[in-house]
Amino acid sequence: MTSDHHHHPAEPAPVERRVAALEQLLTDRGLVPPGFVDAINRAYEQDIGPRNGAKVVARAWVDPEYRQRLLTDSTAAIAELGYGGHEGDHMQVVENTADVHNVVVCTLCSCYPWPVLGLPPAWYKDPPYRARMVREPRALLAEMGCDVQDDVEIAVWDSSAEQRYLVLPQRPPGTDGLSEQELAELVTRDAMIGVARL
Ligand code: FE
């Protein structure tokens, strides 16, 4: 297997040690309170980052022409909303339908669409998720609280440096009266990875 096919972060262990040492130094000197860096990480994992993707999804729900552009040239359509760049140069949006449920994984490491989802959650990087989502996606999804009906096909997308994926969830029923902004607030990070349904 060639290393240029798939992106692996260079020397993650030394990087992690340097980050931990830096965090300890900042904490020891009273420059940041304990837990500060973890709080920042959580914010980028759960709040700040995924809100970009949520805006993309909401726009696709309210604007059929945008949705079409998003599905045919995802990177350009996402850039229309101002998102793109590092770890998101080549995006493919995959649409959930009544017949297909999409879910995203990176089997070899942790490739993830940073410009629309922020930092990947810890479980996304864990070997059990990466292995089992390919082997037994329906069982793993059920364990994660995402029940996909037996007659709905599950499509598993393996991310790489060349291609990152974003799931376009189905618009929930009963949301006809909501504004684009209100719709965006319904969209969760997990739904855009495909491990939850709205
Ligand atoms: Fe990867």
Domain ranges, ordered by start, for the chain: 13-193
* Catalytic residue list contains 146: no
| The residue count for the chain | 198
Q: Which two tokens stand for residue 96?
A: 């959930």
**Res 1: pLDDT:** 44
Q: Which of the two residues, 26 and 74, has the higher pLDDT score?
A: 74
Report which DSSP code applies to 155: E
Q: How far apart are the CA of 125 and the centre of ligand 1, in A?
A: 9
Helices (H), 47-179: 49-62, 64-72, 74-80, 114-117, 122-125, 127-135, 137-143
d(CA 37, CA 23): 7
d(CA 192, CA 96): 10
Would the pLDDT of 31 be above 90?
no
Would the pLDDT of 5 be above 70?
no
Of the options 2.40.110.10, 3.90.330.10, 3.90.550.10, 2.40.50.140, the CATH number for the domain spanning 13-193: 3.90.330.10
Q: Span 76-94, mean pLDDT?
A: 93
- Is the entire prediction scored with pTM above 0.85? no
Would the pLDDT of 12 be above 60?
no
* Catalytic residue list contains 111: yes
Would the pLDDT of 13 be above 80?
no
| Choice among 74, 111, 146, 159 that is catalytic | 111
CA 3 to chain centre: 23
* Catalytic residue list contains 106: yes
Mean pLDDT taken over the chain:
90
